Structure 1
Amino acid sequence: MGRSRSRSRSRRRNRSVTGGAALSLSLLLTGCGAVSGLTGDNEVTLRVVAADYGDNPQNSSLRHWKNLADGFRKDHPGVKVEVSVYSWSEVDNKVAAMVKAGKAPDIAQIGAYADYAAAGKLYTTDELLAVQTEADFLAPLADAGKVKRVQYGMPFVASTRLLFYNEKLFADAGLTSGGRPWQPRTWADLEAAAKKLKAANVPTPFALPLGREEAQAETMMWMLAGGGGYTDGEEAYAIDSPENTKTFEFLRDKLVGQGLTGPVAPDRLDRQTAFDAFTRGEVGMLNGHPTLMKQAAAKGVKFGMVPLPTVDGTDKPNMGVADWMMAFKNGHRKETGQFLDHVYAAQNQTAFTSAYDLLPVTTSGYRAMNAGTGGNSAQLKTFLQALPGSRLYPAGKKSWPGVSEDIKENIGKAVAPGGQPAKVLEQIATSARANDLH
């Protein structure tokens, strides 16, 4: 969703739902507005490590966390909150180093939680949160935070993916209905639209970024649209399912094989490169996340957004992505839970998601944004409506990071000329199942 500054940013963004900042800095704040120092005998200090969603010091997430800490301090004078904010390029490693050194923070807001949960280092959500807070999480996001049916990961913010299309290119290619751009619903529609765009000399009728940057996301979107996914109903890996094989045969034969995916081979096309081409008016269609809205609008590109067409036009789950909060067992369970209840209050969720064009992870936040009381763009509601029924990465599996890496490395081979989707998917699946046992 050479290295330019924007492309560097996007690579870091892959670890977050839409936009981890490229700031090479760490910032420290406390609930009383001063640098961390000595506390009273009865005072508890909570240490929080969080990721930065801004892209410069002026819009750093530091401001949000300072407001949270200050507000919490007023109602809990015996608790001080110290928050270190790091860029997405370093925050996961910072937390890992702290844990390894025996100095885990009380709370971490990072990209993955399963390793720490499996090692017995995290509180469960029901040990921390008030009942109303825990019940407020949107169901698919809460489920994605579970390891063996027990929730350890708390979703912090979320995003979904939609099909973007260039309205001018559609109109120029005759892809209109009733004076409006024609919206594909099936894969046959998608193929037909791509052919018309190609006939109208659009350089890339459909951008298919299966390069390393975010191949695991593009792969999951297509698997879901084809009736498959990374896992089955029992959450076992099903990467080599018949549905997934047929999906990649379609991509190989109908899109790549007919020259509809542009001049760059999918396995060499990264998402930000595809986004950049879309903002230059060179791409007819591609899958994207909310960040693309701003990028395209800034370049004057008029676009529409619809759910990714499915194999037969029937509704299928959309792909959702979440970033995670977790609480380490540091002996501050009560105070940690109180602060997390504060973090997830509806007004605090809305303040953060509105600032960064993200999606809320709670039912109350969802309702507020859908009612128009939160969010900066009506277009963001299109992403919001896809969130409740979305499917997320199998983040509760310790093996998932390795499987994701395997997909980035190999999935592009499945759609190359002469590629063998069944063989590629089987190899990835076999390795995934083996790693899932350890």
Structure 2
Amino acid sequence: MHRVARTATAVIAASTALAVVTACGGSSGTEVAADAEQTLTVWAMGAEGEKLAEVAKEYEKENPHLKVKVTPVGWDVAHQKLVSAAAAGNLPDIAQMGGSYLGEFAELGVLEPVDTKRFQEKDFFPAGWQQGEVDGEVYGVPWYVDTRVLYYRTDLAEKAGVDKAPADWKELRALASAYQKDAGTKWGLSIQPSGLDTVQSFYPFLYSAGGEIIDEDGKVVVDSPAAVKALKEYGAYFDKGLANKSVPPGYDVVKDFGNGRVPMFFGGPWHVTLLNEGQPDIKGKWAVAEVPADEASVSMAGGSSLTVSKDSPHKAAAEEFIAHLTSTEGQADWYERTKDLPANTTAWESGSLADDPALKVFEKQMKTAKASPTLANLSEITDKVDQAIAQVTQGKATAEEALGKAKDQIEGLVQK
């Protein structure tokens, strides 16, 4: 992983955390055996925190020597809470971390490396595993994964004279136009024009064209020919009136997908449930498909990993609990509780995960999905890309100009 410059706040947090770790010598030297009586502390984010508490109660019944204390942490405060805990040497035994966090905390030296003999890459989706890997060392075990696929209205496509999902960029733009012209939709495709994390909407274009922001050697390649090509294609939807240039904060595409104003969007697995429960009138009138390809069909990978504090005296019990959560059975159970996609590939071999056609699309997309680089200040870097995308979608710069500027800004964040 190529290191990046940190903000002053992060530098202060890093210095404090490293001082604490150094003073403690990594762990207390009094580590507790896995089968001894003990309390395991776990932080999990958002809805996962609430659901994990239910799993913990059942796990305690099977392991009466163990108490598992799960603390739900809101995503809006999760980063600051983790930074503060790391600085004070008070991280929980186990913490859930998204890919955008893991590089930072691995760099702080507060995470225990994963035992790769027990937890093996072959058991997980490649992109899920890569999110926990930093400089060749693995610090997080994949817990669940996420990717984006294309949702499209099949009934409106048929009205527009199209009877199959678009397979490539040419077919995607043709269908977007046909929806407007022949099916009377307001827009052809919903993609984000600007604002925080616009890059996530852009990733399916960038990655499918073979582009990246920073390559595996740490070189900034956000202005490569592939990236420019992807941003030109992305911007064309706004230039031609196929996508809305002005989308309010917090916009929920589900309603407009239901009423037909928006016939296509890139969405995650949770949208299946939102559509089934919130838009029952269009049941059987929509489908999901892999991201339309350019050089290939490649979507973004997201999700969360489970990490162990380097200073935890309960590493053995923590490893046992993580093994339970990431096992085939544990992953299938977690999907039934949360609809989070399993990171363990064998969990997809039975039950609804094996039989549901929509889920099979997600599984296939995950096999080629690409993880963001595990960089300590990834959010600062992607903010520059967000700005570049907005310049193009609002007609204020060409793709070459916007990405050239972004490259200069990002190179200023990267340590040479």
In the TM superposition, what whole-angstrom CA distance separates every residue of 1:2-42 from its partner, at most 9, and x where no partner exists? xxxxxxxxxxxxxxxxxxxxxxxxxxxxxxxxxxxxxxxx6
Contact in 2 for aligned 1:92/1:110 (Cα 8 Å): no
**Distance in 2 of aligned mates of 1:376 and 1:209:** 32
Q: Distance in 1 between matches of 2:76 and 2:388?
A: 24
For 1:172 and 1:233, the matched residues in 2 are separated by 45
CA drift at 1:193: 1.5
Distance 1:161 1:402 in 2: 22
Cα root mean square deviation, aligned: 2.5
Q: Structure 1 CA distance, aligned partners of 2:60 and 2:220?
A: 41
Q: Determine if contact 1:130/1:341 at 8 Å carries over to the other structure.
A: no
The aligned counterpart of 1:413 is 391
Q: Distance in 2 between matches of 1:373 and 1:256?
A: 38
Is 1:426–2:407 an aligned residue pair? no
Residue 166 (structure 2) aligns with: 184
* CA 338–296 in structure 1, closer or farther in 2 if over 3 Å, else same: closer
Q: 2:46 aligns with which of 37, 45, 52?
A: 52
* Structure 1 counterpart SS, 2:332: helix
After superposition, the C-alpha distances for 1:371-391 in whole angstroms (9 at most, x for unaligned) are 336589542221122112210
- In the alignment, what sits opposite 2:179? 197
Distance 1:60 1:361, change over 3 A: closer
The correspondence for 1:225, drawn from 189, 201, 208, is: 208
Aligned mate of 1:380, from 350, 359, 363: 359
Indicate the residue corresponding to 2:24 in structure 1: none
Instruction: State the Cα distance separating 1:195 from its structure 2 match.
Output: 1.7
- Choose which of 260, 263, 270 in structure 2 pairs with 1:281: 260
Name the residue aligned to 1:18. none
Letter in 2 for 1:148: D
SS of residue in 2 equivalent to 1:320? strand
Residue of structure 2 equivalent to 1:320: 301
Give the counterpart of 2:229 among 235, 246, 262: 246
CA contact (8 A) 1:350 1:375 kept: no
Deviates more, 1:268-277 or 1:298-307: 268-277
Residue 147 of structure 2 corresponds to which residue in structure 1? 160
Q: Is structure 2 residue 248 aligned with structure 1 residue 265? A: no
The letter for the 2-side match of 1:46 is L
Q: Secondary structure at the match of 1:336?
A: helix
1:125-173 alpha-carbon deviations (Å, 9 max, x no partner): 12xx652556523322212211111111222111111111111221222
Q: Please report how far the alpha carbon of residue 214 of structure 1 lies from its aligned counterpart in structure 2 after TM superposition.
A: 3.6
Distance of aligned partners of 1:271 and 1:206 in 2 relative to their CA distance in 1, 3 Å threshold:
farther
Could you tell me whether the CA contact under 8 Å between 1:116 and 1:122 is conserved in 2? yes
Q: Which moved more, 1:282-291 or 1:133-142?
A: 133-142
Contact 1:318 1:389 in 2 (8 A): yes
Q: Please give the alpha-carbon distance, in whole angstroms, between the structure 2 residues aligned to 1:309 and 1:338.
A: 40
Aligned equivalents of 1:283, 1:132: Cα separation in 2: 43
Q: TM-score, normalised by structure 2?
A: 0.82
Question: C-alpha deviations, 1:59-83, integer Å up to 9, x for none?
Answer: 7442123323443x24xx2x43222
CA spacing shift, 1:378–1:355, aligned 2, 3 Å = farther
Residue 196 of structure 1: how far off its partner (Å): 1.5
Instruction: Report what 2:380 is aligned to.
Output: 402
Separation (CA, whole Å) in 1 of partners of 2:123 and 2:343: 8
**Partner residue of 1:118?**
107
1:172-198 C-alpha deviation (Å, 9 max, x unpaired): 2222xxxxx332122221222122222
Cα displacement (A) at 1:236: 3.5
Counterparts of 2:221 and 2:185 in 1: how far apart (Å)?
A: 36
2:232 & 2:124 partners in 1: Cα distance?
Answer: 37
> In 1, are the aligned partners of 2:228 and 2:400 still within 8 Å (CA)?
yes
Which of 295, 320, 325 is the matching residue for 1:343? 325
- CA drift of 1:119 comes to 1.1
**Gap change, CA 1:140 and 1:376, over 3 Å in 2:** same
Preserved CA contact (<8 Å) 2:133 2:140: yes
Q: Distance between the aligned counterparts of 2:61 and 2:78, measured in 1?
A: 23
Q: Which residue of 2 aligns with 1:306?
A: 289
From the superposition, tell whether residues 338 and 130 of structure 1 become closer, same or farther in structure 2 (CA, over 3 Å).
farther
Partner of 1:122, secondary structure, is coil
User: Bigger relative contact order, structure 1 or 2, given CA contacts below 8 A and separation 6+?
Assistant: 2
Gaps of 5+ in 2: 1-35
SS at match of 2:165: coil
Shift of the 101–430 alpha-carbon distance from structure 1 to 2, 3 Å rule, reads same
Q: Conserved in 1, the CA contact under 8 Å of 2:119 and 2:141? A: no
TM-score normalized by the length of structure 1:
0.78
Shift of 1:292: 1.7
| Deviation readout 1:347-379 (Å, 9 max, x if unpaired) | 111111222222111132233xxx336589542
- How far off its partner does 1:437 sit? 1.3
- Structure 1's unaligned 5+ residue stretches are 1-41, 176-180
- 2: CA distance between counterparts of 1:237 and 1:399? 14
Q: Residue 211 of structure 1 contacts residue 270 of structure 1 at CA under 8 Å; is this kept in 2?
A: no
Runs of 4+ in 1 over 6 A off after TM superposition: none
Secondary structure of the corresponding residue to residue 371 of structure 2: coil
1:250–1:409: structure 2 CA closer, same or farther, 3 Å change rule?
Answer: closer
- Greater helix percent: which structure? 2
Distance 2:189 2:260 in 1: 12
> What do residues 224-243 of structure 1 show as CA deviations (whole Å, max 9, x unaligned)?
12221223353543211111
Please list, as runs of the form range in 1=range in 2, the aligned pairs for 1:325-336 lying within 5 A after superposition: 325-330=306-311, 331-336=313-318
- Per the alignment, do residues 133 and 148 of structure 1 end up closer, same or farther by CA in structure 2, a change over 3 Å counting? closer
The residue type paired with residue 332 of structure 1 is H
Give the whole-Å Cα distance in 2 for the aligned partners of 1:66 and 1:130: 28
Identity %: 20
The number of residues matched between the two structures is 373
1:159 & 1:321 partners in 2: Cα distance?
5
